[in-house]
């Protein structure tokens, strides 16, 4: 018997409106289904019920994790969109080594917080899929170049890692006085988002605000081509203490 090709789910992310929802421990779904229509008649063979296919249902996605009140673009944005009845584009992105994802449009349907005295502050929620979810099994080609400048010196960012399509984590350090960086992402024929903002390939993007001196800022870069699974890149920018 051939060895299993199963893979670990660790490193699967939910992207809500082109931002990662932080610190999820479980993502389940979408629970797709099909309605059936009973067409049984007196002429049905052997007195067995007969059915035909009806409406397809995109189903729901269930999420659980740690409640992170500072996740303004993820958990908090999801909660805000739920209350506003706002539909968003989403991806459930499997680990990069798998190269697959589910693409869907959804509404936030549920959001619960939990405060057990012997456990963590937690959250759970659900998404109602609207329309057809699409399984994407071909991965985007990915970036071919990444560069940037920082505020204080207008100098080029120096990454500790060599830029490559299959290198997903990058790090750099800026001047303590720099409060922003601007990135240039090169990925021909791709749709590009940097920290949730659409970018044009090989064109310098807008300012990305950094955290206070003495902190690190994670910048999420999403790139994908039509009908392909996104590649997710993270640039961690260190702004040293004064």
- Dihedral sign from CA coordinates of 68, 72, 78, 83: positive
String of DSSP letters for 99-156: --EEEEEEEEEEEEEE--TTS--EEEEEEEE-S--EEE-SB----SEEEEEETTT-PB
Residue 242 has a pLDDT of: 79
- Domain spans of the chain? 13-35+51-136, 145-239
Q: Among residues 83, 225, 241, 239, which one has the least CA distance to residue 165?
A: 225
Residue 172 has a pLDDT of: 96
* Topology (CATH level 3) of domain 13-35+51-136: Elongation Factor Tu (Ef-tu); domain 3 (2.40.30)
pLDDT by position in tens, the chain (length 242): 889 989 899 999 999 999 999 999 999 999 999 999 999 999 999 999 999 999 999 999 999 999 999 999 999 999 999 999 999 999 999 999 999 999 999 999 999 999 999 999 999 999 999 999 999 999 999 999 999 999 987 789 999 999 999 999 999 999 999 999 999 999 999 999 999 999 999 999 999 999 999 999 999 999 999 999 999 999 999 999 97
Q: Among residues 163, 152, 148, which one has the least CA distance to residue 204?
A: 148
Residue 121 has a pLDDT of: 97
Cα-to-chain-centroid distance, residue 183: 20
Q: Can you tell me the distance from the alpha carbon of 113 to that of 83, in angstroms, rounded to the nearest whole number? A: 15
Q: Can you tell me the distance from the alpha carbon of 116 to that of 121, in angstroms, rounded to the nearest whole number? A: 7
CB 199 within 8 A of CB 192: yes
């Amino acid at each position: 018997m051939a060895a299993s090709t199963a893979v670990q789910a660790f490193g699967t992310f939910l992207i809500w409106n082109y931002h990662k929802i932080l610190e999820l421990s479980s993502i389940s779904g979408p629970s797709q289904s099909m309605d059936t229509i009973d067409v049984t008649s007196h002429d049905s063979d052997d007195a067995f019920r007969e059915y035909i296919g009806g409406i397809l249902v995109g189903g729901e996605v269930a999420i659980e994790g740690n409640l992170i009140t500072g996740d303004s673009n993820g958990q908090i944005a999801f909660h805000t969109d739920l209350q506003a009845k706002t539909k968003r584009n989403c991806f459930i992105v499997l680990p990069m080594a798998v190269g697959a994802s589910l693409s869907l449009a959804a509404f936030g349907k549920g959001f619960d917080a939990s405060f057990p005295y012997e456990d963590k502050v937690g959250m759970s929620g659900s998404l109602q899929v609207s329309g057809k979810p699409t399984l994407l099994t071909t991965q985007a080609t990915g970036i071919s170049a990444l560069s940037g400048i920082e505020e204080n010196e207008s100098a080029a960012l120096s990454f500790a890692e060599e830029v490559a399509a299959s290198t997903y984590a990058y790090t750099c350090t800026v001047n303590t006085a720099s409060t922003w960086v601007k990135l240039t992402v090169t990925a021909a024929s791709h749709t590009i988002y940097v920290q949730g903002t659409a970018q044009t390939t090989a064109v310098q993007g807008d300012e990305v605000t950094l955290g206070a001196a003495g902190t690190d800022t994670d910048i999420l870069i999403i790139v994908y081509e039509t009908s392909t699974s996104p590649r997710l890149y993270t640039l961690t920018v260190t702004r040293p203490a004064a």
